[in-house]
Amino acid sequence: MARLNQIIAVEKGIKSRSFQELTEAHHALQKPSLLSGISRTYRAKDEEGEQLPAESTKVQVKAEDIVRQTAGILGKLFDVTATKDWANCTARASVVVNGQTIMADVPVSYLLFLEKQLTDLHTFIKKLPVLDASESWEFDASADTWATEPVQTLRTKKIPRNHVKAEATEKHPAQVEVYYEDVTVGFWRTLKFSGAMPAKRVNELLERVEQLQQAVKFAREEANNVETIEQKVGDAFFKYLLG
Protein backbone atom coordinates (compact mmCIF):
# COMPACT_ATOMS: atom_id res chain seq x y z
CA MET A 1 0.00 0.00 0.00
CA ALA A 2 1.53 3.31 -1.11
CA ARG A 3 1.06 6.78 0.34
CA LEU A 4 -0.55 9.62 -1.58
CA ASN A 5 2.68 11.60 -1.93
CA GLN A 6 4.32 8.54 -3.51
CA ILE A 7 1.45 8.12 -5.96
CA ILE A 8 1.70 11.82 -6.92
CA ALA A 9 5.42 11.39 -7.57
CA VAL A 10 4.85 8.28 -9.70
CA GLU A 11 1.93 9.80 -11.65
CA LYS A 12 4.11 12.47 -13.23
CA GLY A 13 6.49 9.88 -14.70
CA ILE A 14 3.64 7.69 -15.96
CA LYS A 15 1.98 10.70 -17.61
CA SER A 16 5.23 11.60 -19.35
CA ARG A 17 5.83 8.04 -20.61
CA SER A 18 2.20 7.67 -21.72
CA PHE A 19 2.39 10.85 -23.77
CA GLN A 20 5.65 9.75 -25.38
CA GLU A 21 4.41 6.25 -26.22
CA LEU A 22 1.06 7.53 -27.51
CA THR A 23 2.88 10.01 -29.74
CA GLU A 24 5.04 7.21 -31.16
CA ALA A 25 1.95 5.02 -31.76
CA HIS A 26 0.16 7.88 -33.49
CA HIS A 27 3.13 8.51 -35.79
CA ALA A 28 3.38 4.80 -36.65
CA LEU A 29 -0.27 4.73 -37.71
CA GLN A 30 0.29 7.72 -39.99
CA LYS A 31 2.80 5.80 -42.15
CA PRO A 32 0.91 3.73 -44.75
CA SER A 33 4.10 1.89 -45.73
CA LEU A 34 4.33 0.27 -42.29
CA LEU A 35 0.71 -0.89 -42.50
CA SER A 36 1.05 -2.33 -45.98
CA GLY A 37 2.39 -5.70 -47.14
CA ILE A 38 2.57 -7.55 -50.45
CA SER A 39 3.37 -10.97 -51.87
CA ARG A 40 4.10 -11.45 -55.58
CA THR A 41 5.18 -14.56 -57.44
CA TYR A 42 6.08 -14.76 -61.11
CA ARG A 43 5.20 -17.51 -63.58
CA ALA A 44 6.58 -17.44 -67.08
CA LYS A 45 4.26 -17.92 -70.00
CA ASP A 46 6.13 -21.04 -71.07
CA GLU A 47 9.00 -23.16 -69.85
CA GLU A 48 11.51 -21.25 -71.90
CA GLY A 49 10.51 -17.89 -70.41
CA GLU A 50 12.60 -15.91 -67.90
CA GLN A 51 12.21 -16.97 -64.28
CA LEU A 52 11.88 -14.11 -61.73
CA PRO A 53 12.15 -14.40 -57.94
CA ALA A 54 9.12 -13.84 -55.75
CA GLU A 55 8.69 -10.47 -54.04
CA SER A 56 7.23 -9.90 -50.61
CA THR A 57 6.93 -7.14 -48.00
CA LYS A 58 5.64 -7.89 -44.53
CA VAL A 59 3.12 -5.76 -42.63
CA GLN A 60 5.17 -4.08 -39.89
CA VAL A 61 2.40 -2.34 -37.97
CA LYS A 62 -1.07 -3.69 -37.21
CA ALA A 63 -3.63 -1.11 -36.14
CA GLU A 64 -5.42 -3.56 -33.84
CA ASP A 65 -2.12 -4.31 -32.06
CA ILE A 66 -1.40 -0.59 -31.68
CA VAL A 67 -4.89 -0.03 -30.24
CA ARG A 68 -4.35 -2.78 -27.66
CA GLN A 69 -0.88 -1.47 -26.78
CA THR A 70 -2.40 2.00 -26.36
CA ALA A 71 -5.05 0.55 -24.07
CA GLY A 72 -2.31 -1.00 -21.96
CA ILE A 73 -0.39 2.29 -21.79
CA LEU A 74 -3.46 4.33 -20.86
CA GLY A 75 -4.66 1.67 -18.44
CA LYS A 76 -1.66 2.31 -16.18
CA LEU A 77 -2.29 6.07 -16.31
CA PHE A 78 -6.00 5.58 -15.58
CA ASP A 79 -5.15 3.39 -12.57
CA VAL A 80 -2.57 5.67 -10.97
CA THR A 81 -4.71 8.79 -11.52
CA ALA A 82 -7.76 7.04 -10.06
CA THR A 83 -5.71 5.95 -7.05
CA LYS A 84 -4.62 9.57 -6.52
CA ASP A 85 -8.09 11.05 -6.96
CA TRP A 86 -9.79 8.44 -4.73
CA ALA A 87 -7.18 9.17 -2.05
CA ASN A 88 -7.69 12.92 -2.46
CA CYS A 89 -11.30 12.40 -1.37
CA THR A 90 -10.11 11.25 2.06
CA ALA A 91 -6.80 13.14 2.39
CA ARG A 92 -7.37 15.86 4.97
CA ALA A 93 -5.35 17.77 7.57
CA SER A 94 -5.79 20.77 9.87
CA VAL A 95 -4.09 24.14 9.45
CA VAL A 96 -2.46 24.91 12.82
CA VAL A 97 -0.54 28.09 13.74
CA ASN A 98 1.23 28.28 17.11
CA GLY A 99 -1.01 25.54 18.50
CA GLN A 100 -4.21 27.25 17.31
CA THR A 101 -6.30 25.36 14.75
CA ILE A 102 -7.26 27.87 12.07
CA MET A 103 -9.08 25.36 9.83
CA ALA A 104 -9.90 21.76 10.72
CA ASP A 105 -9.90 18.69 8.45
CA VAL A 106 -9.19 20.59 5.23
CA PRO A 107 -9.24 18.55 1.97
CA VAL A 108 -5.86 18.41 0.22
CA SER A 109 -7.29 20.00 -2.94
CA TYR A 110 -8.36 23.04 -0.89
CA LEU A 111 -4.94 23.20 0.77
CA LEU A 112 -3.40 23.49 -2.70
CA PHE A 113 -5.84 26.35 -3.45
CA LEU A 114 -4.85 28.08 -0.19
CA GLU A 115 -1.15 27.84 -1.02
CA LYS A 116 -1.71 29.69 -4.31
CA GLN A 117 -3.88 32.36 -2.68
CA LEU A 118 -1.40 32.94 0.15
CA THR A 119 1.41 33.43 -2.37
CA ASP A 120 -0.67 36.13 -4.07
CA LEU A 121 -1.59 37.68 -0.71
CA HIS A 122 2.06 37.84 0.31
CA THR A 123 2.88 39.75 -2.88
CA PHE A 124 -0.10 42.08 -2.31
CA ILE A 125 0.82 42.90 1.30
CA LYS A 126 4.50 43.39 0.49
CA LYS A 127 3.52 46.21 -1.89
CA LEU A 128 1.25 48.06 0.55
CA PRO A 129 2.09 51.80 0.87
CA VAL A 130 4.00 52.64 4.04
CA LEU A 131 3.96 55.94 5.98
CA ASP A 132 6.90 58.24 5.31
CA ALA A 133 9.47 57.44 8.00
CA SER A 134 10.81 61.02 7.95
CA GLU A 135 7.56 62.27 9.52
CA SER A 136 6.03 61.64 12.94
CA TRP A 137 2.52 60.19 12.55
CA GLU A 138 -0.44 59.85 14.91
CA PHE A 139 -3.87 58.46 14.11
CA ASP A 140 -6.43 61.28 13.83
CA ALA A 141 -9.81 59.79 14.82
CA SER A 142 -11.75 62.82 13.57
CA ALA A 143 -10.21 62.53 10.10
CA ASP A 144 -10.11 58.71 10.33
CA THR A 145 -6.59 58.69 8.93
CA TRP A 146 -2.97 59.19 9.90
CA ALA A 147 -1.77 62.76 10.47
CA THR A 148 1.39 64.64 11.41
CA GLU A 149 1.71 67.21 14.19
CA PRO A 150 0.67 70.67 12.98
CA VAL A 151 3.53 72.83 11.78
CA GLN A 152 3.28 76.64 11.77
CA THR A 153 5.01 78.66 9.07
CA LEU A 154 5.02 82.39 8.34
CA ARG A 155 3.41 84.08 5.38
CA THR A 156 5.37 87.17 4.42
CA LYS A 157 4.82 89.98 1.96
CA LYS A 158 7.30 92.37 0.42
CA ILE A 159 6.46 95.94 1.49
CA PRO A 160 8.18 98.87 -0.31
CA ARG A 161 10.24 101.19 1.90
CA ASN A 162 11.98 104.48 1.11
CA HIS A 163 15.56 105.13 2.07
CA VAL A 164 16.63 108.77 1.82
CA LYS A 165 20.20 108.85 0.65
CA ALA A 166 20.38 112.62 0.45
CA GLU A 167 18.01 115.29 1.75
CA ALA A 168 16.54 117.77 -0.66
CA THR A 169 18.29 121.15 -1.09
CA GLU A 170 17.42 124.34 -2.91
CA LYS A 171 19.31 123.09 -5.95
CA HIS A 172 18.70 119.30 -5.81
CA PRO A 173 15.70 117.11 -5.00
CA ALA A 174 16.04 114.50 -2.32
CA GLN A 175 17.76 111.27 -3.35
CA VAL A 176 15.46 108.41 -2.32
CA GLU A 177 16.14 104.68 -2.85
CA VAL A 178 13.18 102.25 -2.80
CA TYR A 179 13.74 98.85 -1.24
CA TYR A 180 11.44 95.99 -0.21
CA GLU A 181 11.17 94.53 3.26
CA ASP A 182 9.71 91.07 4.07
CA VAL A 183 6.95 91.67 6.56
CA THR A 184 4.98 88.89 8.30
CA VAL A 185 1.34 89.19 7.33
CA GLY A 186 -0.01 85.85 8.57
CA PHE A 187 0.62 82.28 9.65
CA TRP A 188 0.11 78.90 7.94
CA ARG A 189 -0.87 75.94 10.13
CA THR A 190 -0.13 72.74 8.16
CA LEU A 191 -1.06 69.12 8.87
CA LYS A 192 -0.20 66.27 6.53
CA PHE A 193 -2.57 63.33 6.15
CA SER A 194 -1.89 59.88 4.73
CA GLY A 195 -3.88 56.77 3.91
CA ALA A 196 -0.73 54.63 3.96
CA MET A 197 0.03 52.12 6.71
CA PRO A 198 2.67 52.07 9.45
CA ALA A 199 5.63 49.85 8.55
CA LYS A 200 5.08 47.92 11.79
CA ARG A 201 1.54 46.97 10.72
CA VAL A 202 2.68 45.86 7.25
CA ASN A 203 5.43 43.72 8.80
CA GLU A 204 2.90 42.15 11.20
CA LEU A 205 0.65 41.20 8.27
CA LEU A 206 3.59 39.77 6.34
CA GLU A 207 4.60 37.67 9.35
CA ARG A 208 1.06 36.30 9.71
CA VAL A 209 0.84 35.43 6.02
CA GLU A 210 4.19 33.62 6.21
CA GLN A 211 3.02 31.68 9.28
CA LEU A 212 -0.13 30.64 7.42
CA GLN A 213 1.92 29.66 4.35
CA GLN A 214 4.08 27.40 6.49
CA ALA A 215 1.07 25.92 8.30
CA VAL A 216 -0.76 25.17 5.04
CA LYS A 217 2.36 23.56 3.58
CA PHE A 218 2.75 21.36 6.66
CA ALA A 219 -0.95 20.42 6.46
CA ARG A 220 -0.62 19.49 2.79
CA GLU A 221 2.41 17.31 3.57
CA GLU A 222 0.45 15.60 6.32
CA ALA A 223 -2.61 15.09 4.10
CA ASN A 224 -0.44 13.68 1.31
CA ASN A 225 0.95 11.13 3.76
CA VAL A 226 -2.38 9.28 3.85
CA GLU A 227 -2.30 5.64 2.73
CA THR A 228 -3.91 4.90 -0.63
CA ILE A 229 -5.95 1.97 -1.89
CA GLU A 230 -4.83 0.97 -5.36
CA GLN A 231 -7.59 1.48 -7.90
CA LYS A 232 -7.88 -0.78 -10.96
CA VAL A 233 -10.23 0.94 -13.36
CA GLY A 234 -8.24 0.77 -16.61
CA ASP A 235 -8.99 -2.92 -17.32
CA ALA A 236 -12.77 -2.50 -17.06
CA PHE A 237 -12.71 0.72 -19.07
CA PHE A 238 -10.74 -0.64 -22.01
CA LYS A 239 -12.37 -4.08 -21.88
CA TYR A 240 -15.65 -2.34 -22.68
CA LEU A 241 -14.06 -0.01 -25.23
CA LEU A 242 -12.36 -2.78 -27.16
CA GLY A 243 -15.31 -5.13 -26.91
pLDDT averaged over the chain? 90
In this structure, is residue 207 part of a structural domain?
no
pLDDT in tens, 15-58: 898 989 888 888 888 888 888 889 999 888 888 888 889 999 99
In this structure, is residue 48 part of a structural domain?
yes
In this structure, is residue 146 part of a structural domain?
no
Range of the domain at 51: 1-91+224-243
Report which of 136, 169, 130 is spatially closest to residue 150, judged by C-alpha positions: 136
In this structure, is residue 80 part of a structural domain?
yes
In this structure, is residue 181 part of a structural domain?
no
In this structure, is residue 116 part of a structural domain?
no
Report which of 221, 220, 243 is spatially closest to residue 106, judged by C-alpha positions: 220
What is the percentage of the chain residues whose pLDDT exceeds 70?
100
pLDDT in tens, 94-141: 999 999 999 999 999 999 999 999 999 999 999 999 999 999 999 999
In this structure, is residue 74 part of a structural domain?
yes
In this structure, is residue 162 part of a structural domain?
no
Specify whether the CB–CB gap between 34 and 60 falls below 8 A.
yes
**1: pLDDT strictly greater than 70:** no
pLDDT in tens, 144-154: 999 999 999 99
**3: pLDDT strictly greater than 80:** yes
Domain count, the chain: 1
Helical spans, DSSP H, in the chain:
4-29, 32-35, 63-88, 108-126, 199-223, 234-242
- Please give the average per-residue pLDDT across 85-99, as a whole number: 93
Query: Alpha-carbon distance 90 to 106, whole Å?
Result: 10
Provide the pLDDT for residue 168: 76
